[in-house]
């Protein structure tokens, strides 16, 4: 998909503002108030940070995965990047982040994970929003939903996500894929810092994230 520079900028700003609202933590619940901000504004380790926005476009037929590979340098990762992929520096590493067909591998690098299959719609055009999330245990998001699947790569700590279907728990080595649409509430659980790289892969005709007011969590992540 080709976007004009002004259209692309508008899309990035809209996505950033929506996510900033989504990741505000509830002070009334006793949690620290944290907002998701552009990584250029980072002033502390703890928080939620936008690290990249990338137009992916229409996906190929067949199973689709999120591929995470690390490289010694950014230049090496950039050399291996294909159209629609993203190079970021996060959690002390240089990452090549690619949404592509299952089984795909870039040249060089070290494979960290392949997470899939992702629940995507044939013919839809997608964009990827990437975040770095470092939360203290007890931090909680407000209720929200996404315009496509959300995927966590958890390096340390534990995350619990409650939806109307129940709860999902993500720990290192246990990758979580949440389909787009259902309302959700995220809580950092366990005893360690939750350190994760997050993908929101959303249909470009929908917002990346939306606040939800018509569903109330049951507190499953506190049990």
Tens digit of each residue's pLDDT (9 = 90 or more) over 83-112 = 999 999 999 999 999 999 999 999 999 999
Q: Which fold has domain 5-211?
A: Jelly Rolls (2.60.120)
Domain borders along the chain are 5-211
pTM, full prediction: 0.84
Q: What is the pLDDT of residues 126-137, one digit of tens each?
A: 999 999 999 999
> For the segment 112-169, what is each residue's pLDDT rounded down to a tens digit?
999 999 999 989 999 999 999 999 998 888 788 999 999 999 999 999 999 999 999 9
Tens-digit pLDDT profile for residues 172-216: 988 889 999 999 988 999 999 999 999 999 999 999 988 889 999
HEC per residue, the chain: CCCCHHHHHHHHHHHHHHHHHHCCCCCCCCCCCCCEEEHHHCCCCCEEEEEEEEEEEECCCCCEEEEEEEECCHHHHHHHCCCCCEEEEECCEEEEEEEEECCCCCCCCEEEEEECCCCCCCCCEEEEEEEEEEECCCCECCCEEECCCEEEEEEECEEEEEECCEEEEEECCECEEECCCCCEEEEEECCCCEEEEEEEEEECCCCCEEECCCCCCCCHHHC
Average pLDDT, the chain: 84
Per-residue pLDDT band for 16 (boundaries 50, 70, 90) equals very low
């Amino acid at each position: 998909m080709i976007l004009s520079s002004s259209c692309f900028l508008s899309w990035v700003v809209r996505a950033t503002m929506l996510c900033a609202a989504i990741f505000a933590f509830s002070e009334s619940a006793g949690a620290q108030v944290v907002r998701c901000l552009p990584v250029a504004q980072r002033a502390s380790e703890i928080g939620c940070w936008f690290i990249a926005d990338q137009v992916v476009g229409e996906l190929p037929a067949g199973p689709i995965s999120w591929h995470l590979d690390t490289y010694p340098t950014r230049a090496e990762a950039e050399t291996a990047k294909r159209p629609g992929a993203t190079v970021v520096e996060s959690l002390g590493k240089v990452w090549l982040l690619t949404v592509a067909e299952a089984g795909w591998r870039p040249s060089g690098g070290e494979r960290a994970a392949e997470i899939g299959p992702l629940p995507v719609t044939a013919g839809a055009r997608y964009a990827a929003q990437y975040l770095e999330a470092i939360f203290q245990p007890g931090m909680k998001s407000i209720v929200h939903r996404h315009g496509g699947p959300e995927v966590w790569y958890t390096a340390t700590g534990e995350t619990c996500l409650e939806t109307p279907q129940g709860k999902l728990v993500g720990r290192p080595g246990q990758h979580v894929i949440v389909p787009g649409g259902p309302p959700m509430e995220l809580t950092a659980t366990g005893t360690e810092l939750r350190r994760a790289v997050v993908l929101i892969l959303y249909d470009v005709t929908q917002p990346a994230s939306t606040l939800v007011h018509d569903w109330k969590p049951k507190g499953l992540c506190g049990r």
